[in-house]
C-alpha cells in the first residue's frame, strides 16, 4: 500500500499535464511494471501473488487518487489476469505462456468494443471477422476504445467466426504483422488512457491463439474483477473531497473572519460528501469481500453491478459538491476539480451501464 501510495503521489505531479495534452503516460505504466504491480493478479498456481479482488480494489482506489486515467487503464490489465486466473477454457500451455509473460512485465487488455456494436455487454455481434485459411486464423477488423493501446503487449480480441456461428477471443501480440494502432482517442474524459482504435489487417494466428468462445454477451458472468472500475471512480471522489476540504480550511475571503469551513452551507455539503463516500466505500468493499469469500460468492447476484452504479454515481455527486464548495475557481483550467468532473463522467460508460444494473435488479425482484 505504501509503495502504491508513493507511485500515486508521483503520478499526480504530471496527471494534469497528461490530461491537458491528451498524452499517454507510457512511463507510468513502465513504473508499475518495474514495481511488480502489473504481476499482482497472476494466480498463485502459476507462480504469481494471486491478489484478491478486495486488495486490488484497495490499491486501485489509492492509485486513482493520484492518477485516475492510469488506474483505470492498468485496472483493465489486472482484472483480465485476475479473472482468467480463476479458471479459463484456454489451452493450458498458452495460459502458462501468458502468465509467464505477465510475470516478466507484459501488459494485456481486452479489445471488445466496436463502433457498430457499441458496448459488448449489449450482446452485439463483432464486425471483426476471423476466417480459417490454410490451417490458420486470419483476422480483419477495427476495435474502438482500446485502453492502454500504445503500451499493450497482448490484446484479447473478439471476432465473429462465421463457420462456427459464434464469437471467439483471440490472443494477439502487438508486433504481429497487420496489427496497428490508429490514434483516434479524442475525448474530454480519461484523456490519458490512450484508448485508441486497434486495427487488424490480415492478422494471422495459429489455432491455439483462439483462446475462448463467448456464450452470451460479455458481462452476463458474475465477475468481481470488474470492481476495478468503481475503485477508480472512488479514487476520484476521494481526491475531490480532499481538495474541497483543504480549500474550505484555507480560503478566507475578507468578508469573513475566518475560512469558509465555518459557513453552515459549506459544512452541510462537506458532511453530505462524507456520507456519500462512506456509503460508496462500504458497498464497494462489501461486494469485494463477498466475491472473495468462496462460501459467499455463490450468493452474489446484483451486488457487483449495484456497487458500480452506486460508486460511479456517488463520484459524480461528490465532485459536483466539491466544485460548489470551491466556487468558480473549480472551473479554472489548472484546477484538478475540472479534470475530476470530466473523468467521473466516463464511469457512466464503463460496464455495467446504469440501465442494465437497474433492469437486473428489477428482474430479480420479479423472479423472487
Ligand atoms: C474510458 C473508457 C475506457 C474504455 N476501455 C475499453 C477497453 O479497454 N476495451 C473495450 O473493449 N472497451 C472499452 N471501453 C468501451 C466501453 O466498455 C463501452 O463499450 C463504450 O463506452 C460504449 O458504451 P456506450 O454505452 O456508450 O455505447 P452503446 O452501447 O452504443 O450505447 C449508446 C446508447 O445506446 C443505448 N443502447 C445501445 N444498445 C442498447 C441495447 N441493446 N439495449 C439498450 N440500450 C442500448 C445505451 O443505453 C446508450 O444510451 C471503454 C470506455 C471508456 C469510456
126-162 pLDDT tens trace: 999 999 999 999 999 999 999 999 999 999 999 999 9
Q: How far is CA 300 from the centre of its chain?
A: 21
What's the mean pLDDT when you consider all of the chain?
97
Q: What is the pLDDT of residue 215?
A: 76
Give the DSSP per-residue string, 26-82.
HHHHHHHHHTTGGGTTS-GGGTS----HHHHHHHHHHHHHH-HHHHHHHHHHHHHHH
Strand 196-205 to strand 108-111: parallel, antiparallel, or no bridges (unpaired)? unpaired
Q: What is the pLDDT of residue 216?
A: 66
Distance 120 CA to ligand 1 centre (A): 7
Across residues 55-59, what is the average pLDDT? 98
Cα–Cα distances (Å) from 205 to 78, 135, 136, 157, 181, in that order, read: 25, 9, 6, 12, 18
Across residues 263-277, what is the average pLDDT? 98
Using an 8 Å Cβ cutoff, are 318 and 273 in contact? yes
Q: What is the pLDDT of residue 217?
A: 62
Look at residue 175 and give its three-state secondary structure: coil
| pLDDT, tens only, 94-130 | 999 999 999 999 999 999 999 999 999 999 999 999 9
Q: Is the CB of 239 under 6 A from ligand 1?
A: no
Grid cell locating 259: 475560512
Distance 221 CA to ligand 1 centre (A): 17
| pLDDT, tens only, 193-210 | 999 999 999 999 999 999
Distance 118 CA to ligand 1 centre (A): 5
Q: What is the pLDDT of residue 368?
A: 74
Across residues 213-232, what is the average pLDDT? 86
Look at residue 290 and give its three-state secondary structure: helix
Across residues 59-72, what is the average pLDDT? 98
| pLDDT, tens only, 241-261 | 999 999 999 999 999 999 999
Across residues 307-335, what is the average pLDDT? 98
- Is residue 222's pLDDT more than 80? yes
- Is residue 349's pLDDT more than 90? yes
CATH number of 224-367, picked from 1.20.140.10, 3.40.50.970, 1.20.1340.10, 3.40.50.11720: 1.20.140.10
Q: Is the CB of 109 under 6 A from ligand 1?
A: yes
Q: What is the pLDDT of residue 16?
A: 98
Residue nearest to atom 40 of ligand 1 (CA): 122
What DSSP character marks residue 118?
Answer: B
Q: What is the pLDDT of residue 219?
A: 58
Is CATH 3.40.710.10 the classification given to domain 2-106? no
**237: alpha, beta or left, given left = phi > 0 and alpha = psi -120 to 50?**
alpha
Give the DSSP per-residue string, 85-114.
HT---S-HHHHHHHHHHHHTT--EEEE--B
What kind of architecture, by CATH, is found in domain 109-214? Beta Barrel (2.40)
Residue nearest to atom 13 of ligand 1 (CA): 145
Q: Where in the chain is the domain with CATH 1.20.140.10?
A: 224-367
Q: Where in the chain is the domain with CATH 1.10.540.10?
A: 2-106
Amino acid at each position: 500500500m505504501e509503495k502504491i501510495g508513493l507511485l500515486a503521489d508521483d503520478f499526480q505531479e504530471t496527471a494534469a499535464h497528461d490530461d491537458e495534452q491528451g498524452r499517454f503516460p507510457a512511463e507510468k505504466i513502465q513504473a508499475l511494471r518495474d514495481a511488480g504491480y502489473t504481476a499482482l493478479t497472476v494466480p498463485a498456481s502459476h507462480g504469481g501473488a494471486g491478489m484478491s479482488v478486495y486488495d486490488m480494489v484497495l490499491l486501485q482506489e489509492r492509485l486513482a487518487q493520484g492518477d485516475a486515467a492510469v488506474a483505470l487503464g492498468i485496472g483493465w490489465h489486472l482484472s483480465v489476469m485476475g479473472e482468467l486466473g480463476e479458471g479459463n477454457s484456454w489451452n493450458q500451455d498458452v495460459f502458462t505462456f501468458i502468465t509467464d509473460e505477465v510475470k516478466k512485465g507484459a501488459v494485456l487488455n481486452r479489445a471488445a468494443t466496436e463502433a457498430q456494436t457499441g458496448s459488448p455487454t449489449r450482446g452485439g455481434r463483432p464486425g471483426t471477422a476471423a476466417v480459417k485459411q490454410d490451417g490458420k486464423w486470419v483476422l480483419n477488423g477495427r476495435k474502438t476504445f482500446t485502453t492502454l493501446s500504445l503500451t499493450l503487449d497482448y490484446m484479447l480480441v473478439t471476432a465473429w467466426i462465421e463457420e462456427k456461428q459464434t464469437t471467439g477471443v483471440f490472443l494477439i501480440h502487438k508486433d504481429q504483422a497487420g496489427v496497428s494502432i490508429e490514434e483516434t482517442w479524442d475525448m474530454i474524459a480519461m484523456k490519458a488512457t490512450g484508448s485508441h482504435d486497434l486495427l487488424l489487417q490480415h492478422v494471422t494466428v495459429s489455432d491455439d491463439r483462439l483462446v475462448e468462445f463467448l456464450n452470451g454477451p460479455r458481462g452476463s458472468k458474475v465477475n468481481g474483477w470488474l470492481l476495478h472500475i468503481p475503485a477508480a471512480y472512488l479514487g476520484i471522489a476521494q481526491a475531490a473531497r480532499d481538495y474541497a476540504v483543504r480549500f474550505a480550511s484555507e480560503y478566507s475571503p475578507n468578508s469573513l473572519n475566518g475560512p469558509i469551513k465555518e459557513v453552515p452551507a459549506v459544512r452541510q455539503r462537506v458532511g453530505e460528501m462524507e456520507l456519500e463516500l462512506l456509503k460508496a466505500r462500504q458497498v464497494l468493499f462489501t461486494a469485494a469481500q463477498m466475491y472473495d469469500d468462496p462460501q459467499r460468492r455463490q450468493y452474489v447476484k446484483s451486488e457487483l453491478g449495484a456497487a458500480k452504479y452506486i460508486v460511479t454515481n456517488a463520484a459524480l455527486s461528490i465532485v459536483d459538491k466539491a466544485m460548489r464548495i470551491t466556487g468558480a475557481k473549480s472551473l479554472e483550467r489548472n484546477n484538478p476539480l475540472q479534470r475530476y468532473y470530466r473523468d467521473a463522467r466516463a464511469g457512466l460508460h464503463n460496464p455495467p451501464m446504469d440501465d442494465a444494473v437497474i433492469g437486473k435488479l428489477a428482474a430479480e425482484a420479479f423472479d423472487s
